[in-house]
Structure 1
């Protein structure tokens, strides 16, 4: 196990986590990126608790051997109840991956085209991770080696014009991650930010078949490899996201934004 109190030598590390022997909670992992990573992390020898809203998917994953818990990250009460359940059943919990998120196409020319969507996006994508961290941070601080993994996006650094609230929510998560890393530097809790590009999932209609998006298995495999080979990484970036992530630093930000919105069908 990764617990320093065992006195055993520590295994190879997975980012800020040990590669195996962790107890990991991933809310938002009944499908897509979350589930792909959950399967790979379990295969590495970790206990993985899958969280999600849809009971039929949770039941299916429980039959597949996962521990599961129902959680709606847009609901503060659901987060508190799920945290209590996870910590009670899994006192060794030392990693939380805040995977849950939504993405909506919006038209900001008129309030009826965006306001309800924007409010839902901020509640899920910003308040959700904040509430998750609030629910788990004291427990994680009690562990000798713990990790919070936040999930932003390449769109935190270059905007897709069709999804303003999503872009803004992920930029907020990036800065939240930067700030928490500074605040928690005096604790045992590490903060790692995962920055996906567009991946072939059901996040937006048609995205699963998009040639613009990265194949899900390729993305998940590369993420795990990065955790293994970059033990001190603060940001986990597959190659496909670096075009978006570093446009401003390279000095070609305007070109990046133009290319992004010309290439992605949702940018029209």
Structure 2
């Protein structure tokens, strides 16, 4: 299967930091010289990214908009960039919840985490698919790239909702892979282990986690090789170890 290295135009949703930013820059550096659209909430960071290369286009976008906002965003992007043939879904937030103290759980925060990490992605995939199925009918491959997590396989008890959202996205990715296997629309799921990022800064756990996490550069190099090959699941580090233990062979049993 051809990989993302042959794409003409790639949209990275959640590109203002961490994994999303690193992948956007790595894709921009591909020999095929694709246009890279970077989106996120922080305009200053988008402006900084847009200055890196002439083929980087910045579009401010909040995945927590309502359904009509998301649909309008997709319609605008596909109209402005008709060659769009890949979308990477990198937006994500993580919160600690202690269900031993249910009175302290902020359900607004919990539901925002659910929407950011899962519901908004399902909506966006639904809205992008008509464009990609049209490309498929024309014989052109396209790629939907959800970023789930190794925690979708083995959860961490302190972040139960985050792990549940990533497990849902992992399950969705496998089902979509099977549903779309007779089209030219390809699913590539990235399942990061603990990776260097800003994800944990608000939790105060970054100093401890930084002793164990995979460096962002190492992660990006590994993932880019999988994207260029067109691998269905890309599982660096401990994610790969847990995939071998608990997930191997599962996809073949999905009907």
TM range (shorter): 0.7 to 0.9
Local SS of the residue matching 1:104? coil
Cα distance in 2 for partners of 1:79, 1:48 equals 19
Q: Which residue of 1 aligns with 2:173?
A: 177
Change (3 A) 1:185 1:104: same
Q: Contact 2:150/2:238 (CA < 8 Å) preserved in 1?
A: no
Question: Counterpart in 2 of 1:211?
Answer: 211
Structure 1 residue 226 and structure 2 residue 214: aligned? no
Aligned positions of 1:64-213 closer than 5 A? 64-65=52-53, 66-75=56-65, 76-109=67-100, 110-143=102-135, 144-205=140-201, 206-207=205-206, 210-213=210-213
Q: Deviations over 1:188-226 (max 9, x none)?
A: 211111100010100112437611111111100111122
How many Å apart are 1:244 and its aligned residue? Answer: 3.1
Q: Is the 1:52–1:71 contact (alpha carbons within 8 Å) kept by the matching residues of 2?
A: yes
1:120 to partner: Cα distance: 1.2
Task: Give the 3-state SS of the residue equivalent to 1:246 in structure 2.
Answer: helix
The 1:185/1:236 distance shift into structure 2, 3 A limit, reads same
Normalised to the residue count of structure 1, the TM-score between the two structures is: 0.81
Give 5+ residue unaligned stretches, structure 2.
249-255
Distance 1:62 1:159 in 2: 36
Whether 1:49 and 2:37 are equivalent positions in the alignment is: yes
Alpha-carbon separation, structure 1, partners of 2:74 and 2:87: 10
Alignment partner, residue 253 of structure 2? none
| Number of equivalent positions | 234
TM-score (ref. length: structure 2): 0.85
Contact 2:193–2:237 under 8 Å retained in 1: no
Whole-angstrom distance in 2 between the partners of 1:246 and 1:117 = 33
- Check whether the contact 2:15–2:38 (CA below 8 A) recurs between aligned residues: yes
Task: Structure 1: state its 5+ residue gaps.
Answer: 1-11, 251-268
SS in 2 for 1:59: helix
